[in-house]
């Protein structure tokens, strides 16, 4: 992996479903992995910053895991709600001072 | 106040115009960033200011000229842009420029170059 890749590109789920997305990144020179949530017409909002292999973070119904050795992170949403509809961006830092973003996963939660 | 503000929200300019984008934060952050996002693409870093000094310039054409007048303000001066420069321009700030600090984003300026 040379760039930051996210899958799937888009996802439709029913309200109440649990879902997860993947972020793949170069496994060399790892400094940090960020997850952001970006609702239409709003500012991207930080969800998690992860720095250690094996890190797991949780905020309400949203959680994330990190595997720096194999170069991936998963974002999980439990019991999706319509207000979870947004684009979820991950960003990798392979140097101390800058982020490279993936193209995002666009989530739509249907009521 | 955890808000980053950007003005204007929308900007339409001709290729011979000079305009400026503005970004402001009052969180005491010492790093500020400009990103460019084209449709369906990820945000791409343009510039990083750390303690009011330009620390990263990602080979951005000189028709984009950043300025950091003080620790709360970041400007992006635009001159002689091309239609392919049409994009969403996002400003962000963080406590400092190290990678483990979350970045706080503004809502962006939607720029159209005619």
Task: Return the residue of B nearest to A34 by Cα.
Answer: B102
Report the first-to-last Cα separation within chain A, whole angstroms. Answer: 36
Query: Mean pLDDT for each consecutive 10-residue tract of chain A (111 residues)?
Result: 88 97 92 95 95 95 97 97 97 85 96 92
Q: What is the pLDDT of residue A28?
A: 85
| Nearest Cβ partner for A44 among B48, B99, B105 | B105
Q: What is the pLDDT of residue B106?
A: 97
User: For the ranges A85-89, A97-101, B46-50, B93-97, which has the lowest average pLDDT?
Assistant: A97-101
Mean pLDDT, residues B8-15: 95
Mean pLDDT, residues B74-93: 96
CA angle A89, B55, B85 (to 5 degrees): 55
Q: What is the pLDDT of residue A46?
A: 96
Does residue B70 surpass a pLDDT of 80? Answer: yes
Q: What is the pLDDT of residue B23?
A: 98
Interface contact flag, A98 B101, Cβ < 8 Å = no
Q: What tokens does A65 get?
A: 């895991």
Q: Give the closest residue to B40 by CA, choosing from A47, A71, A101, A91.
A: A101
Task: Return the residue of B nearest to A35 by Cα.
Answer: B102
What b/e sequence results for B53-66 when a residue is b if at least 16 CB atoms lie within 10 Å of its CB, and e otherwise?
A: eeebeeebeeebeb
Task: Return the residue of A nearest to B49 by Cα.
Answer: A97
CB A47 within 8 A of CB A39: no
Q: Which of helix, strand or coil describes residue A89?
A: strand
Q: Is A25 on the interface with B (CB under 8 A)?
A: no
């Amino acid at each position: 992996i040379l760039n930051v890749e996210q899958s799937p590109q888009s996802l439709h789920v029913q309200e109440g479903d649990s879902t997860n997305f993947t972020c793949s990144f170069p496994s060399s020179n790892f400094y940090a992995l960020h997850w952001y949530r970006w609702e239409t017409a709003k500012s991207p909002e930080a969800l998690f910053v992860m720095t250690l292999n094996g890190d797991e973070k949780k905020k309400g119904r949203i959680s994330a895991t990190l595997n720096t050795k194999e170069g991936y992170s998963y974002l999980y949403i439990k019991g999706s709600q319509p207000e979870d509809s947004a684009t979820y961006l991950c960003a990798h830092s392979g140097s101390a001072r800058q982020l490279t973003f993936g193209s995002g996963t666009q989530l739509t939660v249907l009521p | 106040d955890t808000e980053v503000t950007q003005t204007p929200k929308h900007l339409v300019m001709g290729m011979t115009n000079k305009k400026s984008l503005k970004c402001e934060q009052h969180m005491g952050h010492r790093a500020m960033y400009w990103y460019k996002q084209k449709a369906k693409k990820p945000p791409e870093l343009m510039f990083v200011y750390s303690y009011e000094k330009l620390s990263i310039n990602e080979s951005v054409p000189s028709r984009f000229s950043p300025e950091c007048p003080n620790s709360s303000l970041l400007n992006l001066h635009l001159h002689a842009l091309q239609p392919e420069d049409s994009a969403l321009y996002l400003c962000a700030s963080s406590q400092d420029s190290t990678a483990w600090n979350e970045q706080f984003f503004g809502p962006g300026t939607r720029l159209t170059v005619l």
